[in-house]
Amino acid sequence: MRCDGLFLAGLAHRLPPAVDVAEAVADGRYDPSDLASDEYAAITAVPAGTGEAPPEMAVAAGRAALRRAGRSPSEVALLLHASAWFQGIDYWPAASYVHREVLGEDGRHAPALDVQQMCAGALGALELAASYLTADPSRRCALVTTADRFGGPGFDRWRADLPGLVYGDGAAAAVLGQEGFARLLSVSTVVDTALEGLYRGDEPFAVHPGRPVDVRARRAAFAARARALVGSVADRTTSGLTEAVARTLDEAGLKLDDIARFVFPNVGLRVLRTRYAEPFGLDLSRTTWEWGRRTGHVGAADQLTGLTHLVESGLVGPGDRVLLVGIGAGFAWVCAAVEITENPGWDA
């Protein structure tokens, strides 16, 4: 989708304190061989039994993004909240809580919707928001939030997923509107639901939640029958990624060399090199690796936290193009191209 007249007006993140990964290795939670490949330095983690729930972190990020955008709650025409994991309450719409806390009665005519696209959720929500605003020019802006907290016993952030992926906690938010500091050039999605079973495996459907997440076991079960069903999983995932990137760049009228910075998921170093950087011939200096290795994979928030970091630290400025790349189980690849048009001058 090529976007005309849409801008990012505000960005913010809410991240808990970081935990040195050496502590997790020392007490046996994190395999030292994984650390040697991943080279994570720290993981943002809410202390067990304390701190904010994901929707509370989303509220903090949403309020900050709205303030930075200079927008009032009454101007928000749509609120989308993305998540990948448990939001703190069963059978409950987290987006409605974020809406009430951030927009209140001023947002009475703004739908509050939860987006379930796993770790591609925030960028998927951005695409939905762009479509929603484009459909009716009287809609001033949309607010996208995302938040997750990956804690035990249901989710082991160090071992639940494949080696090369350690999960951090946190939230991020973005305000999309008709004015702002960064032009949204294009955003596109590619899906391959033949790979849906990668995160389901052979687990039976349950009546109620409660089983610990073990993605490694699910992937192993899927792999046992995958080749006959879908062929090479690696080839399909690479194909989805490259198609999404190519489509987004084409719609934006750009080439890879036109992109100053790439914001990929905050995966470990070996995976980042082999699955993301090398297929596109990129040097790691053009990615947000030095940022991501200090937060871990924060669900659907990686792209918004990474872009916030680039803007806040002055690593991008007017004229720079940034490509945001998300991937979510299911499978979906979502990319967004933005161009920084001015320094926002945020004071907080």
Alpha helices in 39-138 (DSSP H): 54-69, 94-102, 121-135
CB atoms within 10 A of CB 194: 14
Q: How far is CA 186 from CA 50, 209, 313, 343, in A?
A: 40, 37, 24, 21
Q: What's the pLDDT at 154?
A: 87
Which H helix or E strand runs over 306? helix 302-312
Which H helix or E strand runs over 328? strand 321-328
Whole-angstrom distance, CA of residue 249 vs CA of residue 337: 7
Geometric angle at alpha carbon 121, from 115 and 127, rounded to 5°? 90
Q: How far is CA 34 from CA 30, 52, 200, 202, 270, in A?
A: 7, 29, 24, 26, 10
- On the question of a common fold for 7-181 and 186-340, the answer reads yes
Q: What's the pLDDT at 231?
A: 62
For the chain, how many residues are written?
348
Whole-angstrom distance, CA of residue 236 vs CA of residue 129: 28
Classify domain 7-181 at the CATH topology level: Peroxisomal Thiolase; Chain A, domain 1 (3.40.47)
Whole-angstrom distance, CA of residue 333 vs CA of residue 237: 9
Q: Write down the pTM of the prediction.
A: 0.95
At 154, phi and psi to the nearest 5? -75, -30
Would you tell me which CATH number, out of the four given (3.40.47.10, 3.30.420.40, 3.40.50.2300, 3.90.1150.10), belongs to the domain 186-340?
3.40.47.10
User: For each of the chain's 348 residues, which pLDDT tens digit applies?
Assistant: 898 999 999 999 999 999 999 999 999 999 999 999 999 999 999 988 888 999 999 999 999 999 999 999 999 999 999 999 999 999 999 999 999 999 999 999 999 999 999 999 999 999 999 999 999 999 999 999 999 999 878 899 999 888 899 999 999 999 999 999 999 999 999 999 888 888 888 888 887 777 788 888 888 877 767 665 556 777 788 888 999 999 999 999 999 999 999 999 999 999 999 999 999 999 999 999 999 999 999 999 999 999 999 999 999 999 999 999 999 998 899 999 999 999 998 876
Q: What's the pLDDT at 348?
A: 63
Domain map of the chain by residue range?
Answer: 7-181, 186-340
Residue 297 DSSP code? B
Contact 83, 121 (CB under 8 A): yes
> SS3 for 141?
strand
For CA atoms 207, 200, 324, 30, the dihedral sign is positive
Contact 87, 94 (CB under 8 A): yes
